[in-house]
Amino acid sequence: MNIKNLKQFRELLIKNKIVVSGLECTKNNYDNDGSLIKDDLPTITTDFCEIGLHNGEIYFVFIIDSKTFSQSFFDKIKNKANVKIYGFKDFNKTLYPVNNFNFDNFLEQIQKDKYLQIQLDYKNIDEFYLFKEYSDLVRVFENSGIVVVNQLKTDSS
């Protein structure tokens, strides 16, 4: 995946009447190991998530209201091989997947923070399949009653 793929995906979002920001380069992003990425990352933002490019992977980062997270929602996303869940304030700590995962302990832990981050990474995927994944995820979030922070409104405030 490269910047061309991200631009093509943005065009696909626009064609499907999804509001999306222009391509931006963002700073102070962290990798999957919690290390600060020194380079600016190309990103676009919808009202549902930030979509960026790092190390040849496209990622989606959703920020949700922790209190709306549920067992039924978790059951729908947990088996995606590319899902990671982080706290909002302590985003360097991966909450899922981890060894000896316990949902009740997880639920108790996420309630301590107002927001939660859910990240999904994709590599070697064409824009049309990526759009299908995006659309399916939006539907799962909405059908599960998950309250997603509109990052477009947050960014412009």
pLDDT in tens, 41-95: 888 999 999 998 888 889 899 999 999 999 999 999 998 878 999 887 766 678 8
d(CA 149, CA 124): 28
Question: What does the pLDDT read at residue 152?
Answer: 82
Write out pLDDT tens, residues 22-34.
998 776 565 555 5
For the beta sheet containing 41-45, the strands, ordered from the edge strand earlier in sequence to the opposite edge, are 24-26, 41-45, 50-54, 57-65, 115-122, 83-87, 94-96
User: Over the chain, what is the mean pLDDT?
Assistant: 86
Contact by Cβ (8 Å): 82, 35: no
SS (H, E, C) the chain: CCHHHHHHHHHHHHHCCCCECCCEEECCCECCCCCECCCCEEEEEECCCEEEEECCEEEEEEEEEHHHCCHHHHHHHCCCCCEEEEECCCCCCEEECCCCCCHHHHHHHHCCCCEEEEEEEECCCCHHHHHHHHHHHHHHHHHCCCCECCHHHHHHC
Question: What does the pLDDT read at residue 29?
Answer: 61
Question: What does the pLDDT read at residue 156?
Answer: 45
Residue 99 is encoded by which pair of tokens?
A: 């060894």
**31 or 100, which is more confident?**
100
Q: Among 4-8, 52-56, 110-114, 153-157, whose mean pLDDT is lowest?
A: 153-157
Q: Beta partners for 6?
A: none
Homologous superfamily (CATH) of 3-156 is Bira Bifunctional Protein; Domain 2 (3.30.930.10)
pTM of the model: 0.87
Q: Is the pLDDT of residue 117 over 80?
A: yes
Residue 19 is encoded by which pair of tokens?
A: 């509001």
Write out pLDDT tens, residues 61-70.
999 999 999 9
Q: Is the pLDDT of residue 104 over 50?
A: yes
Q: Among 20-24, 36-40, 140-144, whose mean pLDDT is lowest?
A: 36-40
Domain spans, the chain? 3-156
